[in-house]
């Protein structure tokens, strides 16, 4: 559905531009000044307006566009708030916060491998320096780049048990879309599961149990986490219903979409783990076969060990379904040294437990 045009009068916009010009310490005379203003707005409000949008507002770029309500709200807020003193950030914190500055991302290809590797290095830095994480966490959650490229890409299973969950609580506070809210509740459910906090598990399970009709456009990774939560959070007949829904959804997942990490069977990956935990060996075998046979393998997920983790799920299901020779053959070729750092210890424990049973 097309967005409604925001009927902002020229008089109102002119006054707003005047108010903004009056409170900043530089004249907006050239196109480059719009970049400076964009950065200042972000620094003071933690809300982002691109430099190109600012250039259109000030007439440096000609286009037939209508300001959104959210952009107008950001400008009004910036015009009336007083500048706040700079926080006394540590040097490491300054680096992290500058790294996630939205202005740096206007012309970056998000699929660039060097770009992605840089985020992995930052995630490792935050994992290993908990004081640094505490220092920058609130800033990262209020910044959509921080939410997208840190919290959504690096939910760290070990860290979730001891501090990162607090960051995800703030992430949930800033979440606007159904997908983000589902993701936030699913991650916090998993954190509560890891810490054996049943009341918190039920809190997040109940918060999203009624959004089934809105899930069709949700990313497979998030959808898989959602069904993991619903299967583990429910019991009896209700759990059976969620399992049936998961099997139905599995048939609707695209096998050919290669945009935004959808080339990996992320839905299957998380639902397999749920089936393992609730000991549904029949459906674990079915789901793991689908994941390993219906989707082509890509290097990005090969080197992260995700396919090996799916093979581990499959081997467990084979063993439990009395296909012990096949299970043994499969597990012999799994090397936990290749598991990705955000879930390494979690899957190593699963591997070591089943290795003793299957390869004994």
Query: φ and ψ at 227, to 5 degrees?
Result: -70, -30
User: What pTM, to 2 d.p., does this model score?
Assistant: 0.81
Say whether pLDDT at 111 is over 80: no
The pLDDT value given to residue 6:
52
Q: CA-CA distance, 225 to 331, in Å (whole number)?
A: 25
The pLDDT value given to residue 1:
40
Q: Can you tell me which residue has the tokens 């780049």?
A: 145
Q: Which residue has the higher pLDDT, 335 or 142?
A: 335
pLDDT in tens, 49-80: 888 888 888 888 877 667 787 888 888 888 87
Say whether pLDDT at 3 is over 70: no
Q: Does domain 155-358 have CATH number 3.40.50?
A: no
> 295 falls in which pLDDT band (50, 70, 90)?
very high
The pLDDT value given to residue 201:
96
Token pair for residue 25? 């310490």
Percent over 90 (pLDDT), the chain: 59
Q: Where are the domains of the chain?
A: 10-80, 155-358
Cα(first)–Cα(last) distance of the chain, in Å?
60
Average pLDDT rounded to a whole number, residues 243-266: 90
Q: CA-CA distance, 250 to 267, in Å (whole number)?
A: 8
The pLDDT value given to residue 5:
46
């Amino acid at each position: 559905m097309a967005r409604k045009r925001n009927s902002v009068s020229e008089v109102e916009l002119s006054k707003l531009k005047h108010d903004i010009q009056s409170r900043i310490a530089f004249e907006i005379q050239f196109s480059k000044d719009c970049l400076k203003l964009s950065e200042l707005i972000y620094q003071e409000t933690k809300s982002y307006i691109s430099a190109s949008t600012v250039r259109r507002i000030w007439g440096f770029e000609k286009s037939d566009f209508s300001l959104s309500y959210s952009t107008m709200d950001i400008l009004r807020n910036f015009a009336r708030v007083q500048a706040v003193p700079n926080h006394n950030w540590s040097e490491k914190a300054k680096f992290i916060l500058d790294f996630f500055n939205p202005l740096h991302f206007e012309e970056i290809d998000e699929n660039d491998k060097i770009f992605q590797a840089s985020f992995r290095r930052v995630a490792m830095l935050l994992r290993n320096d908990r004081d640094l994480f505490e220092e920058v966490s609130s800033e990262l959650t209020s910044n959509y780049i921080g939410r997208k490229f840190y919290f959504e890409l690096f939910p760290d299973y070990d860290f979730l048990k001891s501090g990162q969950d607090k960051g995800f609580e703030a992430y949930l506070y800033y979440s606007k879309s159904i997908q983000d809210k589902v993701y936030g509740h699913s991650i916090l459910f998993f954190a509560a599961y890891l810490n054996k906090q049943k009341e918190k598990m039920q809190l997040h399970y109940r918060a999203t149990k009624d959004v089934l009709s809105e899930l069709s456009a949700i990313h497979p990774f998030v959808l898989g986490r959602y069904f993991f939560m619903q299967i583990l959070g429910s019991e009896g007949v209700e759990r059976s219903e969620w399992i049936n829904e998961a099997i139905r959804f599995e048939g609707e997942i695209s096998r050919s979409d290669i945009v935004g990490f959808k080339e990996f069977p992320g839905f299957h990956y998380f639902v397999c783990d749920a089936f393992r935990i609730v000991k549904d060996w029949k459906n674990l075998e079915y789901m793991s076969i689908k994941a390993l046979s219906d989707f082509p393998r890509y290097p990005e997920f090969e080197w992260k060990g995700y396919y090996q983790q799916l093979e581990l799920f499959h081997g467990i299901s084979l063993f439990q379904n009395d296909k012990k020779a096949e299970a043994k053959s499969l597990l012999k070729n799994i090397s936990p040294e290749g598991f990705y750092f955000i879930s390494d210890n979690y899957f190593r424990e699963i591997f070591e437990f089943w290795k003793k049973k299957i390869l004994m």
